Chains A and B, each alone.
Chain A
């Protein structure tokens, strides 16, 4: 959605001849940092960051590449957390099966919500997803298996594939890291597939996509379900990291948070939402000990981002001279 309003400056900047190699080196440095990070930082904090990073990247798949603003992604994140927690704790499923159930459950919820919401566009789409997700919140409040206000607590992490004991924090960290990398690879592949190209064409000019013969609503629904499923992957993993699933994860505040993460980091970039999630999670951790309410800061950051900083951190970097010389470009 940023594309229509702020075209990137048209001056020509030559891409550095070794841009591709520099990008690879950057990627390798980040990868090494993630592998070594738990030696220096609190692993639970890092895992939270990875889970929310994946969640925000999944949300951005819809906003950044399809131009649909969903205000109901907490349903998929929190719903999957409930499904995974219930399967693992009550039914005694292994973690991989529990997460798979979370992903499938989130995809099913996404299919229903998406089918209703894509009947309207733009602002209405946002309001409808918000209302439907509030409906799911009330369902979770009253349904028996979610245990209402208490949530599902002390969820066992179990043994992955019968080999890796996830109660060990380091094993759990590398499992979460693996899920995070796989999730981002799926998103990257999806965005750069013919399907992703059609989504971008719908975002740029829906009427023209229709006249070219594309069944626009089917593509939108496909993107919605894909985004929901990946948000569910993040939610299922989150339930195992913290070993609980609560109403917070399905509340509208959570839907707002993931929008903020994406906006802050950069809509339509793969890395932006992850960076934004890192900032928001760090900020929350930092403020958790003080009595100053996080919502004031969140609200003000939201307003500032919308008013003067619509490209987000990574988006600004990509649009800068250095970013463009290194061959980066934002997708929106």
Chain B
């Protein structure tokens, strides 16, 4: 058997893949957080809950409505995005003029309420969601077996991340978004509906979280608490990357996922905390984050 640094290549590649998959979720979620924060100046604590809602939406669409995976991949983000839009319009928008900490506290309460409600109706244990038939099985890459679904997760999240990046950096709508981030009053005076832009942005962020949730449903079990620990890791990812840059959030997400995966191979005891340790080191050496501009 081939060995690298005294570790069998199969094990190394396996963990690298697990790291890439976790990294895909970190990237999608931290991207959504960064987009919302950029315009709304709100740290969306409910992001983990919205990820969970995406997975549940896929599960319920399948079991109740018989809707298949591919349709759910589109429908679930739309449903959760609409929910996000309603929350933003009716409640969150009242908090913009206050200290930003109130936005964090509000979405924290929202996350507790959502997770508590799902737990009340569906219990705390996980429920399986089968991957679509087209994506089951594995291919032999010569040096390892690649389960097709896991490969799909990495590819799908990469495509969506790049699409969002393109939308924000290269399109007219994205230009409005970026302009409103810099100076909302001025943009509004040009006749652009900034409140609508804010609602759309929150819905987009929530939808991205839900998309990650649908992708995650076949990999992990669908459970009401699947997002609550994940969101704390994503916060650390966001602190490491610095929220100033969309591309920075994406790159940091994948990078930290891979680092976490490798830690599982070389020093498993530390795999739970390695991202937090990296966060502490980055804060000491470069407080603004790897891609951040403002301290």
**B239: contacting residue among A122, A128, A295, A301, CB under 8 A:** A128
Q: How many residues of B contact A (CB 8 A)?
A: 44
CB of A296 within 8 A of chain B? Answer: yes
Does A119 contact B287, Cβ atoms closer than 8 Å? yes
Query: Please, which residues of chain A bring their CB within 8 A of the CB of B43?
Result: 123, 126-127
CB of B91 within 8 A of chain A? Answer: yes
Q: Which of B256-295 contact A (CB under 8 A)?
A: 269, 272-273, 276-277, 279-280, 283-284, 287, 295
Query: Please, which residues of chain B bring their CB within 8 A of the CB of A298?
Result: 109, 112, 116
Query: Please, which residues of chain B bring their CB within 8 A of the CB of A302?
Result: 105-106, 108-109, 112-113
**B276: contacting residue among A124, A135, A292, A294, CB under 8 A:** A135
Does A4 contact B99, Cβ atoms closer than 8 Å? yes
Which chain A residue lies CB-closest to B92?
A307
**B104: contacting residue among A116, A123, A139, A141, CB under 8 A:** A123
Does A123 contact B239, Cβ atoms closer than 8 Å? no
Query: Please, which residues of chain A bring their CB within 8 A of the CB of B110?
Result: 299, 303
CA distance A124 to B102 in the complex (A): 13
Which of B70-78, B196-204, B230-238 is the contact stretch? B230-238
CB distance from A74 to the nearest CB of B (A): 12
Does B116 contact A299, Cβ atoms closer than 8 Å? yes
Q: A130 and B235 in contact (CB under 8 A), knowing A1-B101, A295-B116?
A: yes
CB of A69 within 8 A of chain B? Answer: yes
CB of A194 within 8 A of chain B? Answer: no
Main secondary structure of the interface of B (DSSP, over half): helix
Q: How many residues of A contact B (CB 8 A)?
A: 44
Does B284 contact A119, Cβ atoms closer than 8 Å? yes
CB of B172 within 8 A of chain A? Answer: no
Query: Please, which residues of chain A bring their CB within 8 A of the CB of B170?
Result: none
Mask of B212-249 contacts with A, CB within 8 angstroms, 1/0: 00000000000000000100110110110000000000
Query: Please, which residues of chain A bring their CB within 8 A of the CB of B100?
Result: 122-123
Query: Please, which residues of chain B bring their CB within 8 A of the CB of A296?
Result: 112-113, 116-117, 120
Q: Can you report 10 residue pairs joining A to B where beta carbons are below 8 Å apart?
A: A119-B283, A120-B239, A127-B239, A134-B229, A256-B108, A259-B108, A293-B116, A297-B116, A303-B106, A310-B98
| Closest 4 pairs (CB-CB, A-B) | A302-B109, A299-B113, A299-B112, A295-B116
A: residues with CB less than 8 A from B are 1-2, 4-5, 69, 116-117, 119-120, 122-124, 126-128, 130-132, 134-135, 138-139, 141-142, 252, 256, 259, 263, 292-303, 305-307, 310
